Amino acid sequence: MPELSDDRIEVVAPNLKRRLSGVTATVIRLIPVQSKRIGIVTTGPGLPETLPHIPLVRAATLPRDRWRVWHARRNTEMALGLILRHILRRRYRLLFTSAAQRRHTGFTRWLIRRQEALIATSPQAASYLERPATVIMHGVDLSIFHPSADRAALRDRLGFAPDDIVIGCFGRVRAQKGVDLLVEAALRLFPSRPRAKLIFSGRVTADNRKFTDDLIARIEAAGLSDRIRFLGEVPWEQVVENYQAIDLFAAPARWEGFGLTPLEAMACGVPAIGTRVGAFETLILDGETGSLVDREDVDGLTAALAHWLDDDTARETAGSLARNRVQTNHAIEGEARAIVEVYRKLLA
């Protein structure tokens, strides 16, 4: 991508983490859309070459001839912004986006108090900031997340039979995501529902290896290894294809900051089951575009899965409603536009 000259850089969005995370994914999907509206670049490691990018040293030495926005999404990025502003005397307006739905640590609160503006990804996240914040919910890039043009061929290529009902759960494999709850529900339901399959995709970190191995052992003991599979970390293109190929998405998280995966599934025309955490209650219309269940409620999760597995017509109708809801309320262009408005106010 052509490099922006110093005088065209209005916003710097740092990404100070090498491994892919939810925050990194947000930066990757938003900046191409925002760049159509404002001079924005990112800085930091592990980002695609297609993004407008400057080295950290350049971000720290941009001319003092104008104000720019430093848009942080992590504590480290807020701290670096303070260093750039108050020690290196760069002219940065400091902005922080928070998705966390918990009381922040003392250090985080100290950092937040020193930001000039705040964005929260949900009303729940805003309530923990102890300062006024603009609520801007995440959106989905509908040019990427959409139903497949030839779903039958895609499913055949991925190894699914035409009459399979495939449930998906995507994201890092750990207890926070309720992976064990979904496995338990599947173990209860699958013996009497031979069409059902379940796929997990996402990285298994070393500290979650035993957690995952124990689940795999339970699945093997039940004789369901061919129907409940852990795919591991897969390329981004395959993640999108998996969304397009499944029939039902499940996100039984125990807690969540925002939780974008149900929205991505819904954009692909797939109904979603989520727990009442994060933004799921705002995203999913219970009984219409999927189901909401209480956190840690295995019985409720099992009942919701059974409902959608047993009613093909209801599942297809809910998938169409889900796609329409995302198109109407959660397109990424709306998110990008609202964030750029915050940038403009800071730069005015």
Residues of the chain where predicted confidence (pLDDT) is lower than 70: 1-2, 20
Cα–Cα dist 89/79, whole Å? 14
Q: Express each pLDDT in 307-332 by its tens digit.
A: 999 999 999 999 999 999 999 999 99
Cα torsion through 204, 206, 207, 208, rounded to 10? 30
pLDDT at 235: 86
pLDDT at 11: 98
pLDDT at 69: 98
What does the angle CA 179 – CA 181 – CA 187 come to, to the nearest 5 degrees? 105
Looking at domain 151-329, does it have CATH number 3.40.50.2000?
A: yes
Q: In what order do the strands lie in the sheet with 92-98?
A: 40-43, 11-14, 68-72, 92-98, 117-120, 134-135
DSSP conformation class of 87: I
Q: Express each pLDDT in 103-152 by its tens digit.
A: 899 999 999 999 999 999 988 899 999 899 999 999 999 999 999 999 99
Name the residue among 329, 325, 304, 302 with its Cα closest to residue 315. Answer: 304
Cα–Cα dist 6/181, whole Å? 51
pLDDT at 236: 81
Q: Torsion-angle region of residue 251: left (phi > 0), alpha (psi -120 to 50) or beta?
A: beta
| In contact, 45 and 34? CB cutoff 8 Å | no
The topology under which CATH files domain 6-139+331-347 is Rossmann fold (3.40.50)
pLDDT at 1: 59
Q: In the chain, where does the domain assigned CATH 3.40.50.2000 lie?
A: 6-139+331-347, 151-329
pLDDT at 17: 84
pLDDT at 22: 75
Cα–Cα dist 135/140, whole Å? 16
* Exposure on the CB side of residue 246, measured as CA atoms within 13 A: 31
